Amino acid sequence: MIGPHLLSAADLTREDAVGVLDTTAELASVTDRSVKKLPTLRGRTVVNLFFEDSTRTRISFELAAKRLSADVINFAAKGSSVSKGESLKDTALTLEAMGADAVIIRHGASGAPYRLATAGWINGSVINAGDGTHEHPTQALLDAYTLRRHVRDADGIGADLEGVRVVIVGDILHSRVARSNVLLLRTLGAHVTVVAPPTLMPFGVETWPCEINYDIDDVLPKADAVMMLRVQAERMAGSYFPTELEYSRMYGLDSRRMDLMPSDAIVMHPGPMNRGVEISAEVADSPRAVVVEQVTNGVHVRMAVMYLLLGGAPSGTDSEGREG
Amino acid sequence: MSETIVLRGARPYGEQPRDIVVSDGRIAAIVDSGSGEADRIVSAEDCVILPGLVDLHTHLREPGREHAETIESGSRAAALGGYTCVHAMANTSPVADTAGVVEQVWRRGIECGLVEVRPVGAVTVGLAGAQLAELGAMAHSAAAVRVFSDDGLCVHDPLLMRRALEYVKAFDGVVAQHAQDPRLTEGAQMNESELSGRLGLAGWPAVAEESIIARDVLLAEHVGSRLHVCHVSTAGSVEVIRWAKSRGIPVTAEATPHHLLLTEELVATFDPIYKVNPPLRRAEDVQALREAVADGTIDIIATDHAPHPREDKDCEWAAAAMGMLGLETALGIVAQVFIESGLLDWRSVADLMSAAPARIGRVAGQGQPIEVGAVANLAVWDPSARTTVVADNLASRSRNTPYAGLELPGRVRHVLFEGRMTVNDGRIA
């Protein structure tokens, strides 16, 4: 049983994670029907509290909550307390006063969802929708779900990812996606390798439950899936790599490199993509790239997380009562 | 003729019980326990008596941030912690970079009358690291500044650091360096380690401290000046300082109680009460600091008492201010870490927390040994008491103690400042 919050991929045991993926599969089959809505969260209020612009993640959560019939409020907190806007605390107290049952928070500061969950400002569930360079657990869940659909049979109910080989390439240092994926995929039994220039590897990465490689060509032939991370141009200013062109040459995924991969291996990307930098247009548009499917799965995974955290049962009963 | 006081049955440095007779601001006599006579008899049986503590590193926040601390509230906190002298750091608003500001701080300290407030002068104008402040004017002011520091910021420019070290020789001053390479610590949030990588918090690598200390001890050797290193926090820094001392370089160093007790694991709570600069380090660093204090590589314990208003800690980690309260808990932590463990005796503690900081700061009336004729700056410590830290009970105007709920050994019973009782039975007299 997960909850009351989802702050880190490390919060989940293998059983929990498989449970979320199974619930996702069930909900996905429901939303394939013509009437996409379930009444599960009717009367519950879910707040999308976004301190960073991230239209795609916000929309994904919003859609997920609406398909569960929750009332959804989008709170775009322009300017966090870092930039002297309203403080996180006052925002939290406001949402609490309005009766939010769950707060989905995206924040530029690592650990902000922990403060929200533990400082005593609110009582509802907190779902981490990405905090600084720390974690993004629902992204890891949607990636795991996408992987399972491809490496196991159709819906893969009950399956974990034991023995699946996943390569994550890019700015591991600044990536919350990488952190959550390394934790979750390992929990599910996958074998993860992270690839990046040494400057973009986190300090102490050798203690992480994954392999480390600086050479993408070395690891592609054995990968079941390759996850490409967005590399931001401003990293050049920090001297993490000399030029975008050199980065692309050494770590970008183009057709030549894709051909090194086993024929059934898939290419993933959390988006938004920098075409021509970490991923070439040919690869991004190839049938092996499952980027669009990841987006679809993201909605279903987030439905499952809210469903489980807010007291819905997989049978889909209408749950009005709020937990003490 | 002022009131005469006898401290009855107190044990100087934890040794044999004596009566200490205080008259006209000085120790008039030290006689057999029970035989001292005075206008006022203060019971101090079984208590350890130490020279009044001297803090070389205190942030009193006045002028400019009186909502966090004032010279008055900071003086109370200091007295209750057993201190009779504090050095008020220069990062106020306005910065203490002129004779006018340091005299204002100094005078306000005298008005409060609870501890001797020694202003620290800024090394550079506005702490901007670009141009030397009027160090001579501050030295020759009524405040007679001897310690200069841009604390909070590092005097990073090597040429400016060299000049500052040279210049203060004219008045026997010392530069107290906040050793932090600014480029290596841009945006730094915690110790750089496996944990910072996992938490996704920008790291503050040990080398950013150690490289500056290495440079500064070589500069101090080259120009023949004294150097003091603030809040040493890493095992590597200890090694550099140990090496420098073995070469005879006139360097002194301080460690804070929090770096001697707490480790970076606390950061995993994301509770900014544990956010401090330099950051909490690994257990290995804490161990190295303890050994360095015990073997004399580190000369003094200094608090880096850094009050912050509630809103500066009641927020997310990255937005929070760096710093912790320290004055009222320092002696209890030292007692736990060094006395209870048997690493040090009370004479050594008296040196670390009183005599040595007074020597480094050139404060004549402080840190004197407990002997007839010495200025009566004395702290009476009850080692049998246990004290649980309660943030709301602290005298500081701020509440940012990382020790709330922690039980520490001992309690400050009484404090005499220049022969007057400033603390009586744990309360401001």
Q: What is the ipTM of this complex?
A: 0.90
B369 prior amide bond cis, ω within 30:
no
* A116 and A161 assigned to the same domain: no
Rounded to an integer, what distance in angstroms lies between the CA atom of residue B374 and that of residue B367?
9
Residue A323 in domain: no
pTM of the model: 0.94
Residues of chain B with pLDDT > 70: what percent? 100
Q: Is the pLDDT of residue A321 over 70?
A: no
Instruction: Residues B51-361: name the CATH superfamily.
Output: Metal-dependent hydrolases (3.20.20.140)
| pLDDT category of residue A2 using cuts at 50, 70 and 90 | confident
Residue A102 included in any domain: yes
Residue A72 is assigned to a structural domain of this protein: yes
Confidence band of A79 (pLDDT split at 50, 70, 90): low
Q: Is the pLDDT of residue B153 over 50?
A: yes
- pLDDT of A156 reads 85
Contact B394, B77 (CB under 8 A): yes
Work out the average pLDDT over A67-90.
78
**pLDDT for residue A272 is more than 50:** yes
Say what the pLDDT of residue A224 is: 98
**Confidence at residue A277, expressed as pLDDT on a 0 to 100 scale:** 94
Residues A29 and A162 in one domain: no
Q: Note the pLDDT of residue A322.
A: 36
Instruction: Confirm whether A324 is domain-assigned.
Output: no
pLDDT for the residue numbered A311: 74
The verdict on A60 and A75 lying in the same domain is: yes
pLDDT exceeds cutoff 60 at A313: no
Contacts with A119 from chain B: Cβ below 8 Å: 314
Q: Are residues A236 and A300 in the same domain?
A: no
pLDDT at residue A31 in the model: 76
Q: A123 and A153 in one domain?
A: no
Domain residue limits at A233:
138-290
Give the mean model confidence (pLDDT) for residues A112-138: 96
**Chain A, nearest residue to B201 by Cα:** A110
Q: Judge if A61 and A200 occupy the same domain.
A: no
User: One-letter amino acid identity for B288?
Assistant: A
How many domains are there within chain A?
A: 2
Residue A323 has pLDDT above 50, yes or no: no
Res. A252: pLDDT tops 60: yes
Contact A184, A148 (CB under 8 A): no
Same domain, A270 and A143: yes
* Cα(A31)–Cα(A22) distance, integer angstroms: 14
Which residue of chain A is at minimal alpha-carbon distance from B194? A204
Residues A213 and A226 in one domain: yes
Q: Does an H or E element contain A73, and which?
A: strand A71-76
CB contacts of B200 in chain A (<8 Å) are: 110, 131-135, 176, 179
User: What's the mean pLDDT in B79-90?
Assistant: 98
Residues A27 and A147 in one domain: no
- Could you report the per-residue pLDDT of A23-54, keeping only the tens digit for each? 999 999 887 777 778 999 999 999 999 998 88
pLDDT (0 to 100) of residue A319? 40
The pairing of strands B378-388 and B300-301 is unpaired
Q: Which helix (H) or strand (E) holds B30?
A: strand B26-32
The answer to whether residue A166 is domain-embedded is: yes
Q: Which residue carries 């900014």 as its tokens?
A: B272
- Our measurement of the distance from residue B339's CA atom to the centroid of its chain's CA atoms, rounded to an integer in Å, reads 19
Same domain, A108 and A173: no
The per-residue DSSP string of B133-189 comes to --HHHHHTSTT---EE--TTS----HHHHHHHHHHGGGGT-EEEE----TGGGTT--
Considering only CB atoms, which chain B residues are within 8 Å of A111?
Answer: 199, 201, 270, 316-318
Q: What is the dihedral of CA B356, B361, B365, B369, to 10 degrees?
A: 10
Q: What is the pLDDT of residue A312?
A: 56
- Kindly report the CATH number assigned to the domain that includes residue A39: 3.40.50.1370
pLDDT tens-place string over residues B254-307: 999 999 999 999 999 999 999 999 999 999 999 999 999 999 999 999 999 999
A118 belongs to a structural domain: yes
Per-residue CA distances from A51 to A65, A78, A106, B79 (Å): 19, 6, 6, 44
Question: What SS3 state is found at B287?
Answer: helix
pLDDT surpassing 50 at residue B374 = yes
Question: Are A171 and A282 members of one domain?
Answer: yes
DSSP state of B193: S
B198:A108 CB<8 A = no
Residue A2 maps to a domain: no
ω into B278 cis (within 30 of 0): yes
Reported as a pLDDT band with limits 50, 70 and 90, residue A320 is: very low
Q: Using an 8 Å Cβ cutoff, are B301 and B254 in contact?
A: yes
Q: How far, in Å, CA of A175 to CA of A134, rounded?
A: 7
DSSP A79: S
- For the segment B23-43, what is each residue's pLDDT rounded down to a tens digit? 999 999 999 999 999 999 999
- Sorted by sequence, the CB contacts under 8 Å of residue A23 that are 6+ apart come out as A304, A307, A308, A314
Whether residue A3 lies inside any domain: the answer is no
